[in-house]
Amino acid sequence: MLQQSHKPTHPRAALPAVVHAHVSPLISPFMLSLIMKSLLSSFVICAALILCLTLTTSATHAQQQAPPPPPPPPARPTPTPPMLNTTTEGQEIDDGATIEFNTSLVTLQVRVIDRQNRPINDVRKDDFRVFEDGQPQSIEFFSTEEVPISYGIVVDNSGSLRQQLEKVIAAGRTIVESNKQGDETFLIRFTDSSRINLDQEWTSDKTVLQEKLDDLFPDSGQTAVYDAVNLAAEYATERRKGEDPNDRRRRALIIVTDGEERNSVTTEKELFARLRESDVQIFIIGFTGDLEEQDGGIIKKSTRSKATNLINKLATETGGRAFFPNSVSELPAIADQITRDLRTQFIVSYNPTNKRRDGTFRRVRVALADDSRAGKRIAITRPGYTAPNDTAATTSSTTGERPRTLTPAKNNK
């Protein structure tokens, strides 16, 4: 009898042995090498990917931790100053910037007095009314501040003033002594057209001016009042012209003469044409008492009458003032009055509604409303001005020889 105890009771019991018997031979060393190489390549690739990912993360983290770069500097604004600012100081302007100033303003120096000729200082801008050729004008600038004064002392040292010269010098010293910071003065002495001498150019040195006044002496010659005033006004007008559009300094002449015109090349018409183009006030001390009162009969005016009319006209046409002392003892008070008049004035500027630059004369009037407390108030200024002329030829209308220019003294300081 056969024994079957060693045979499996289930058909699958012998399967592992069969598989082992058939598979084991298939995993050869060559296949094992390929598998190992494949696994190694996969490992290298994964390691490289992990390294790249780590580096990228580190760089991103570093960027997030770094401080942000500073912002760029703000662009500097370009100034646009087509209009003049008169209320600010130290305005910064870029190099090469173009600035346009309003040069059409008409500036008036206005004195305000009462019926007793006493100065009035407490006047407001709204109290002023300006008219040009009868048309109201809008005031663009108004000031009551004390501004520097540029003035000349012009002395007739002809023989006719020999007796008054000492007091004239004393009056001149009084005026010079009142000069304040920023003021400047020149000194002219004259007789005839060939001797209109600039004894002292512009200076603020009071000592130098007083020394020059002390050196004045009487001289001979036929008095050339028109020529002397003409050259002095031109010299004063050109001072600091165009240097500063904001410059509102006052320009004036203080003239001492007997007013007897004898020897000028300049005509009266030419003289007053120049004065209307300038902005120079004339304060004039006229010693006419020794001139003949009657020498021409009914038709021809006397020498004194002509001199008085000329002196008054010089003052009126420029908004200044004329003085006729009866004696030299009045000169100190007159000097004080001139000084006070120069410093107690209002500056009024307006832009004329008539824009034509045709060289015509424009008549100006300044009016003031009456004050219930001060009563009648009178505004005194120049009666008009000559408008610029863009088309006129720059030629002189004077016929004959022109007066020589101012002659500087050899020891001018």
| DSSP secondary structure letters along 134-149 | TEEE-EEEEE-S---E
Cα 200 to its chain centre, rounded Å, is 27
Among 4-8, 133-137, 228-232, 261-265, which is the least confidently predicted range?
Answer: 4-8
Element housing 269 (H / E): helix 268-277
Strand, coil or helix: 260: coil
Write the CA distances from 206 to 153, 211, 217, integer angstroms. 13, 9, 20
Sheet harboring 407-408: ordered strands across?
321-323, 280-286, 250-257, 149-156, 184-190, 196-203, 407-408
Residue 11 has pLDDT above 70, yes or no: no
List domains and CATH numbers for the chain. Answer: 146-357 (3.40.50.410)
DSSP per position, 337-401? HHHHHHHS-EEEEE--S----B--EEEEEEEEPPBTTTB--EEE--SEEEPPBSSS-S-----SP
**What does the block give as tokens for 222?**
């036929």
- Using the structure block, give the residue that is written with the tokens 């004898």: 262
Sheet harboring 106-113: ordered strands across?
139-143, 346-350, 106-113, 378-380
Element housing 30 (H / E): helix 29-65
Q: Which residues contact 180 (CB under 8 A, 6 or more apart)?
A: 146, 148
- Which pLDDT does position 48 carry in this prediction? 60
Dist CA 6 CA 21 (whole Å): 20
Residue 348 contacts residue 128 (beta carbons within 8 Å) = yes
Dist CA 164 CA 43 (whole Å): 126
- Which pLDDT does position 4 carry in this prediction? 43
Residue 396 has pLDDT above 80, yes or no: no
Strand, coil or helix: 155: strand
Dist CA 335 CA 118 (whole Å): 15
pLDDT digits (tens, 9 = 90+) for 156-204: 998 888 888 888 999 999 999 999 988 999 999 999 999 999 999 999 9
Strand, coil or helix: 51: helix
Q: Would residue 295 be called left, alpha or beta, if left means φ above 0 and alpha means ψ between -120 and 50 degrees?
A: alpha
Mean pLDDT to the nearest integer, 362-372: 86
Name the percent of the chain lying above pLDDT 90: 36
- Which pLDDT does position 226 carry in this prediction? 96
Residue 29 has pLDDT above 70, yes or no: no
Name the percent of the chain lying above pLDDT 70: 66
- Which pLDDT does position 177 carry in this prediction? 92
Neighbours of 226 (CB within 10 A): 23
pLDDT digits (tens, 9 = 90+) for 289-309: 888 776 555 545 678 899 999
Among 26-35, 279-288, 352-361, which is the least confidently predicted range?
Answer: 26-35
Residue 337 contacts residue 323 (beta carbons within 8 Å) = yes
pLDDT-derived band of residue 8, with 50, 70 and 90 as boundaries? very low
pLDDT digits (tens, 9 = 90+) for 230-284: 999 999 988 866 666 566 678 999 999 999 999 899 999 999 999 988 889 999 9
